[in-house]
Chain A
Amino acid sequence: MYLDEVKTILIDVLGLGAAGQRLQADSALLGSLPELDSMAVVSLIGALEEHFGIVVSDDDISASTFETLGSLTDFVAAKLAA
């Protein structure tokens, strides 16, 4: 449900441009997007926090969260539902 919003933020923060539009729920992020370095991860978290009004804790910064676009979206949805 939040997939498109998360995808748009991901594209904007990482500067993926048109290529980013091809990302789908099962698209791998971690280890697949060279743009996703530590600065991009921190910036992405900040953008998600701001856009969705959520608070991300250090423990949330894990490989399972950033594995795919779908897992990141699920993470956001879980935060919003909490």
Chain B
Amino acid sequence: MASAAAPAEAFFLDAAPGRRFCLFFPPAGPCRGAVLYVHPFAEEMNRARHMAAVQARALAQQGYGVLLLDLHGCGDSSGDFGDARWDTWKADLALGAAWLRQRLGAPLTLWGLRLGALLALDAVRDAAFPVARVLLWQPVQKGSTYLTQFLRLRTAGAMLDGSGAADAPPSGTDALRSALRAGETLEVAGYDLAPDLAAAIDALAPLEALAPACPALWFEALRGAGQAPPAAAAHAQEAWRQQGVALATHALPCPTFWITPEVDASAAWLEATTAAVCEEVAAHAD
């Protein structure tokens, strides 16, 4: 049975530039592995924060040491969101991975949610630090599509506050992309989006081309019990299998907690993730 978990440890890691806020959930009992959480983008990070913490605690009770690290310019880490860059974020992951290696000396699972999943996969591709497997929660399919949806928050915001008048600043995504290409930093839904970061997200390879060199656990949230996973996800999963990725897929009904926090209804999702993480290690222990 699971031992009582030690309380989470909050601290800062020195990084470049500034420092990163970390929340570490130490493993209860003998350590079975290390997990580094890669949070999603902008406001999705805040909305998913509670679910991430609950999942981290559940994994800690099963013997995993889990590190929740706020990337540069996010959460309680130093820097403004407008200072954030894709490569700095990957360096932050390397920093978190090094800390976990030193603390636990255990194989690392990179656990990414939404755009965090793409960041995790991009980091695995760089191979700057060893990753034993990835755990993907609702991975974003394509960086460029995600960027369009993020820019759309501005269009939607203009509609909601009734400022979509003719003299309002342009809010269509084409105009916003042009502004970014011209080097302008854009404020979207309260977040300053730097042109460099937008360009990096825009240029990301699609999920199907990001097959990792390690085993992968992939969770897709369905809107209802009878729903099939999105065709794009199924397509990418098939591409990965053809490339020989050891892939375990899970699709189950779960509210979109990165948009609408609704934790109670997501217990099945949390339990399925914990079970999959533990099962996979048992299978690989032979």
Write the residues of chain A forming the contact surface with B, with a CB cutoff of 8 angstroms. 8-9, 12-15, 30, 35-43, 45-47, 50, 58-59, 61-63, 66
Interchain nearest-CB distance for B122 vs A (Å): 22
- Interface size class for chain B? 20 to 34
Smallest Cβ-Cβ distance to B171: which chain A residue: A58
Check B224–A42 contact: CB distance below 8 A. Answer: no
Q: Give the secondary structure class of A's interface.
A: helix
Considering the complex of A and B, which 9 residue pairs feature the smallest CB-CB distances, nearest first? A41-B156, A15-B260, A58-B172, A38-B156, A12-B223, A38-B157, A38-B153, A15-B262, A42-B152
Which residue of the partner chain, among B189, B223, B256, contacts A38 with CB atoms under 8 Å? B189
Neighbouring B residues of A58 by C-beta, 8 Å: 152, 155, 171-174
Minimum C-beta distance from A32 to chain B (A): 12
Instruction: Report whether A40 and B152 are in contact in the complex, using a CB–CB cutoff of 8 Å.
Output: no
Q: Are A30 and B160 in contact (CB under 8 A)?
A: yes
Q: Assuming A13-B259, A39-B259, is B164 touching A45 (CB within 8 A)?
A: no
What are 6 A-B interface contacts by the 8 Å CB criterion?
A12-B224, A35-B260, A38-B154, A39-B43, A40-B260, A58-B171
* A38-B189, A63-B164, A66-B159 known; A13+B256 contact, CB < 8 A: yes
